[in-house]
Amino acid sequence: MKILRNILITASVLIISFILIDFLLPTQWKVERSIVINAWAQNVYPLVANFKSGWPQWSAFDFEDPSIQYSYPSPEEGVGATRSWVSKKMGNGTQKTIGADPASGITYQLQMVQNGFLLNSHLAFEPVGQGTKVTWTDFGDTGNNPIFRYMGALMDKMMGDIFEKSLTSLKQKVETQGPKS
């Protein structure tokens, strides 16, 4: 009987702790990484604005699941460009460009189908010397969902390395292509 009582007390303390910690977690989250590319924004833009032919050349996310299946139900580039995917490993989702400018970058939204998780993102361009600083920012609001709040608290840890790897790949790709005529 004493063992059962101790198990119930421990379980109760864990559940109450989980709930209390949840109330302390922020509802807003953000992941941001930058890199300077030795090329003009106009040379970077085609790779970030085109989900079908651009992103697969540099985005580490595109290689997380070799069996992922993409579809492109709209324009491939610019405002309105959309790609959807089906993936057992990463879940099903949709990515849609909501802002695009060759001089300043793109803005898009990404939504996961199963849980409705929505993130907003910018790939912003800023002139720096003879090149372009590219800053990739993902951000969102977890609302009152306790699982999303815990996930939000871990987003930088979960996505930061992939951002860095992707931006390094983007830099290498753009710089080896050279200027476009």
Strands (E), 41-87: 69-71, 82-86
pLDDT digits (tens, 9 = 90+) for 100-153: 999 999 999 999 887 777 889 999 999 999 999 999 999 987 777 676 666 676
Position 16 in a domain: no
Position 22 in a domain: no
Question: Helix or strand or coil: residue 49?
Answer: helix
Question: Helix or strand or coil: residue 80?
Answer: coil
In angstroms, the CA 160 to CA 32 distance is 7
CB 122, CB 132: distance < 8 Å: no
**Residue 75 belongs to domain with CATH number:** 3.30.530.20
Q: How far is CA 81 from CA 27, 59, 117, 168, 170, in A?
A: 29, 16, 20, 24, 20
Q: How far is CA 104 from CA 6, 41, 42, in A?
A: 59, 7, 9
| Structural domain harbouring 47 | 27-177
Position 122 in a domain: yes
Position 89 in a domain: yes
Position 155 in a domain: yes
Determine the pLDDT at residue 5.
Answer: 74
Count of structural domains within the chain: 1
CB 92, CB 112: distance < 8 Å: yes
The pLDDT averaged over each successive group of 10 residues in the chain (181 residues) is 76 65 68 96 96 94 89 90 92 94 96 83 96 95 70 76 95 84 44
Stretch (H or E) spanning 46? helix 41-49
Tokens standing for residue 133? 């600083």
